Structure 1
Amino acid sequence: MFNPNQVIQKIVAQPTVHATLTFVARVLLAYIFIVAGWGKLAGYSATVGYMEAMGVPGALLPITILVELGGGLALLFGVHARLFAAALAGFSLVTAFLFHGTPEDSIHFMKNFAMAGGLIFLVLHGAGQWSVDQRFEK
């Protein structure tokens, strides 16, 4: 009997496919943080205003940019990926509640939860073959 799970497992067990998909997953997770961090840097004063309107001190913006942009770049290149994935997962959950906790913003709340789930998966499985982490582990 045809079992799609077994077919997919055989495909992703191939080293090149596994390495490629792990890299693509890491890039996709990193992308939103890099873009968000850069956007906050480019629109610094507007972001301070938004944060303060939400009851979060604007003085935290440099740390936010560092977490998003720095953490996103670390994921992109696979540098201490487990550590940065854990930090970004926590960041995603905290910001879900601070900035997206209203019913009219529920899609962003769920997006942050989904990102945290993907990041936790990265914590469990690491950055993969095409990463700086892998080069250091050899």
Structure 2
Amino acid sequence: MLNPNVVVKNIVNQTNTDAILALIARALLAYIFIVAGWGKLTAYSATASYMESMGVPSAMLPLTILVELGGGLALLLGFQARFAAFGLGIFSLITAFLFHGSAEDGINFMKNFAMAGGLFFLMLHGAGKFSLDHIIEK
């Protein structure tokens, strides 16, 4: 009998396939943080005002940009990816409650939780073969 899980496992467990999928997963996770961090940097005043309106001090904005942009780039490049994934996962959970806790914003709340799940999975399994972490660890 054909077992789809075994078929997928056999495909994914091939070294190059695993490495390529890890790179794609990192890029997909990194994308939202890089874009969001860049957006905050280029619309600094508007973002600071929004943060203040949500009860978050605008003095936190530089740290937020560093976490999003720096963490996103670290994920993309696979540099200290476990640390970056853990930090971004915690960041995603915190921002879910601070900015997306209302009933009207439930989809973004769930999105942040889903991203945190993917990031924690990346933290457990590492960046993969096509990463700076792999090069450094060799």
Shorter-chain TM band = over 0.9
2:5 counterpart residue number: 5
In structure 1, the residue matched to 2:68 is 68
Paired position in structure 2 for 1:130:
130
Q: Secondary structure at the match of 1:130?
A: coil
Distance in 2 (alpha carbons) for counterparts of 1:16 and 1:127 = 13
Cα displacement string for residues 43-99 of structure 1 (whole angstroms, at most 9, x for unaligned residues):
100000100000000010000000000000000000100001000000000000000
Residue matched to 1:85: 85
CA RMSD of aligned residues (A): 0.4
Once residues 37 and 2 of structure 1 are traced to their aligned partners in structure 2, the CA distance between those partners, rounded to angstroms, is 45
Q: Runs ≥4 in structure 1, deviation > 2 angstroms?
A: none
CA distance in 2, matches of 1:13, 1:57: 46
The alignment status of 1:19 with 2:19, answered yes or no, reads yes
> TM-score scaled by structure 1?
0.99
1:38 is displaced (CA, Å) by 0.1
Q: How many residues of Structure 1 are paired with residues of Structure 2 in the alignment?
A: 138
Note the 1:92-131 alignment, pairs <5 A. 92-131=92-131
- Tell me, which stretches of 5 or more residues in structure 1 are unaligned? none
What displacement does 1:14 show? Answer: 1.0
